């Protein structure tokens, strides 16, 4: 398998339903040049919005609070208009790409949305890797699967991820970690707002 087939980048996808509702969700995307593949598991608001509107924005951010926030009912991140598509982008991003939906490879579990980047911009320089940010993203993925993973696996992974947080986190990473840990301790906390759109 070719490496570009497997590289997945963890981003925030913003979508806007034609009737106006905006949605933010962490997603893993694959890029092949100007083609970007988004693969949401059904059911998915991102999928519904993308199919209805034909567009989305991929936000490249190192603010892991947005990833943790989307999973813990904190979706109220500042947005701004995109240049070419009706879906907004996050106001604070390293870079973003504006997408138009080209076609759907349908699937009952996880359709693949094949999109084309029609506009891209860089706003701030990449600051280097940070282990706590990676640990928060890993914990966010665990939290998004809490109902499907065995408790001992979750506890073991948190024990390992915590080391990077304790050694390398800044205030944003610590806040994001703590929001996710609240959810691990009480999986039903803030559930209603976690699924809320604006
Ligand atoms: C880093 C990260 C990557 C994710 N990637 C995906 C993905 O590729 N597809 C997916 O369906 N959910 C993914 N999730 C989980 C979704 O963000 C979450 O389930 C969300 O609610 C998706 O459903 P929605 O479109 O209805 O918001 C990811 C979560 C995280 C934290």
Tell me the per-residue pLDDT of 8-22, one tens digit each, with 9 for 90 and over.
Answer: 999 999 999 999 999
Residue nearest to ligand 1 atom 7, measured at CA:
27
Fold entry, domain 131-194: Methane Monooxygenase Hydroxylase; Chain G, domain 1 (1.20.58)
Residue spans of the domains in the chain: they are 3-122, 131-194
Of ligand 1's listed atoms, the one at least distance from the Cα of 24 is 27
Protein fold of 3-122: Pnp Oxidase; Chain A (2.30.110)
Write down the pTM of the prediction.
0.94
The residue ranges of DSSP E strands in the chain, in sequence order, are 9-16, 22-32, 35-38, 55-60, 79-80, 89-90, 95-105, 112-122
What integer pLDDT is reported at residue 187 of this predicted model? 84
What's the 44 CA to ligand 1 centre distance in angstroms? 8
The pLDDT of residue 194 is 46
Query: C-alpha angle 173/44/38, rounded to 5°?
Result: 70
Q: What's the pLDDT score for residue 156?
A: 97
Task: Give the tokens for residue 18.
Answer: 């034609």
Low-confidence ranges of the chain (pLDDT < 70): 1-5, 190-198
Report the largest interatomic distance among the alpha carbons of the chain, rounded to a whole angstrom.
46
What pLDDT does residue 188 have? 80
> Rounded to the nearest whole angstrom, what is the distance from the C-alpha of residue 132 to the centroid of ligand 1?
20
**For ligand 1, which residues put their CB under 6 angstroms from it?**
10, 25-28, 39-41, 44-46, 67, 137, 140-141, 144
pLDDT value, residue 5: 61
């Amino acid at each position: 398998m070719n490496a570009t087939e497997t590289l997945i980048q963890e981003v925030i996808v913003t979508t806007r339903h034609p009737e106006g509702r905006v949605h933010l969700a962490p997603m893993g995307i694959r890029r092949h040049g100007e083609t970007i593949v988004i693969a949401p598991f059904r059911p998915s608001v991102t999928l519904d919005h993308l199919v209805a509107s034909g567009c989305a924005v991929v936000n490249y951010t190192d603010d892991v609070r947005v990833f943790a926030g989307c999973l813990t009912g904190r979706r109220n991140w500042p947005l701004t208009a995109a240049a070419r598509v009706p879906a907004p982008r996050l106001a604070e991003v390293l870079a973003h790409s504006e997408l138009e939906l080209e076609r759907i490879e349908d699937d009952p579990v996880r359709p693949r949305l094949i999109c084309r980047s029609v506009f891209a911009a860089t706003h701030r320089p990449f600051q280097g890797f940070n282990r706590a940010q990676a640990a928060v993203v890993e914990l966010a993925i665990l939290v998004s699967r809490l109902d499907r993973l065995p408790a001992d696996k979750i506890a073991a992974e948190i024990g390992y991820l915590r080391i990077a947080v304790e050694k390398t986190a800044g205030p944003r990473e610590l806040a994001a970690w703590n929001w996710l840990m609240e959810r691990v301790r009480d999986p039903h906390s803030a559930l209603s707002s976690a699924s809320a759109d604006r």
